[in-house]
Amino acid sequence: MPPPPLLQATGLTKRFGGQTLFEGLDLRLQPGELLALLGESGSGKSTLLNGLAALEPLDEGQVLLDGQDILRLDEAGQALLRRERLGFVFQAFHVLPHLTVRDNIGLPLLLQGRPDTTRVDHMLGAVGLAAHANHLPRQLSGGQLQRVAIARALVHRPALVLADEPTGNLDPRHADQMMQLLRQQLQEQGAACLLVTHSAHAAALADRRLRLDGGQLVDA
Ligand SMILES: Nc1ncnc2c1ncn2[C@@H]1O[C@H](COP(=O)(O)OP(=O)(O)OP(=O)(O)O)[C@@H](O)[C@H]1O
Ligand SMILES: [Mg+2]
């Protein structure tokens, strides 16, 4: 028998004004699985990712993470669950401008009350930013900022990684490195990842590919 799904989302629907962006989407992720989500710009990928993390309200649907219904928790419960179980790589990075690279990466551990310098040093090395540990975000390039965002999403060993175009600003060598890092984290922790990408190369490295097209998810 396959293990129970880590993430089971059903009937996800999002409307803006009178328009339906997507409707009745079902999504399931097994532990260890890397699922690529493709789709044209504006098809709703970021909205779906944000909806899964309850960062943006959905109109209908249920999101079970390890059997727990995220969308039915109160705000404090959702924040706690995100902090402990989710790693999010935002399309626009959302690094904190007044914190150094080291402190940005260590923030998820600090927020959980378990700071861990060794783990932060490991992540700094893993994303190739050891030499930039004490720099501020404004002193980094776009690709370096993206790697800070990836390290921060993985540092606390989340059960589910939601990554919105995490290699969109990277050259092929760094993009490959980040995909390897992601895969290694999934293997080591039995975590799962939903990876939004426009890169055919990144999508080819996933276990499964779906495309958001006309408000529906189809095999890609
Ligand atoms: N708060 C909002 N109000 C109205 N429309 C919105 C809102 N947020 C997003 N949209 C619309 O929903 C659509 C999907 O946006 P979304 O950011 O999810 O697309 P995407 O697939 O991530 O695109 P990209 O590949 O460019 O990142 C867009 O047409 C966008 O304008
Ligand atoms: Mg997007």
What is the bridge-based pairing of β-strands 68-69 and 216-219?
A: unpaired
- Closest residue to atom 29 of ligand 1, CA basis: 42
Is 154 within the bounds of a domain? Answer: yes
Cα 120 off chain centre by: 18
Is 117 within the bounds of a domain? Answer: yes
| Count: domains in the chain | 1
Residue 91 Cα to ligand 2 midpoint, Å, equals: 6
Confidence class of residue 3 from pLDDT cuts 50, 70 and 90? Answer: confident
Structure confidence by residue, pLDDT tens digits, 97-131: 999 999 999 999 999 999 999 999 999 999 999 99
What pTM was estimated for this model as a whole? Answer: 0.96
- Closest residue to atom 28 of ligand 1, CA basis: 42
Q: Are 112 and 83 in contact (CB under 8 A)?
A: yes
Is 7 within the bounds of a domain? Answer: no
Q: What phi and psi values does residue 140 have, to the nearest 5 degrees?
A: -110, 160
91: CATH: 3.40.50.300
Is 74 within the bounds of a domain? Answer: no
Looking at the predicted structure, is the pLDDT value of residue 2 above 80?
no
d(CA 60, CA 78): 17
Mutate to test the pocket of ligand 1, among 20, 23, 38, 47 (most ligand atoms within 8 A of CB): 47
Confidence class of residue 176 from pLDDT cuts 50, 70 and 90? Answer: very high
Is 133 within the bounds of a domain? Answer: yes
What residues have their beta carbon closer than 5 A to ion ligand 2? 46, 91
Is 209 within the bounds of a domain? Answer: yes
Q: Which residues contact 16 (CB under 8 A, 6 or more apart)?
A: none
Is 67 within the bounds of a domain? Answer: no
Beta-carbon neighbour count of residue 218 at 10 Å?
12
% of the chain beyond a pLDDT of 90: 95
Structure confidence by residue, pLDDT tens digits, 49-89: 999 999 999 999 999 999 899 999 999 999 999 999 999 99
d(CA 217, CA 175): 25
Protein residues whose CB sits closer than 6 Å to any atom of ligand 1: 16, 21, 39, 41-47, 91
The SS3 call for residue 109 is: helix
Task: Give residue 142's domain range.
Answer: 33-58+86-219
- Closest residue to atom 8 of ligand 1, CA basis: 47
Is 198 within the bounds of a domain? Answer: yes
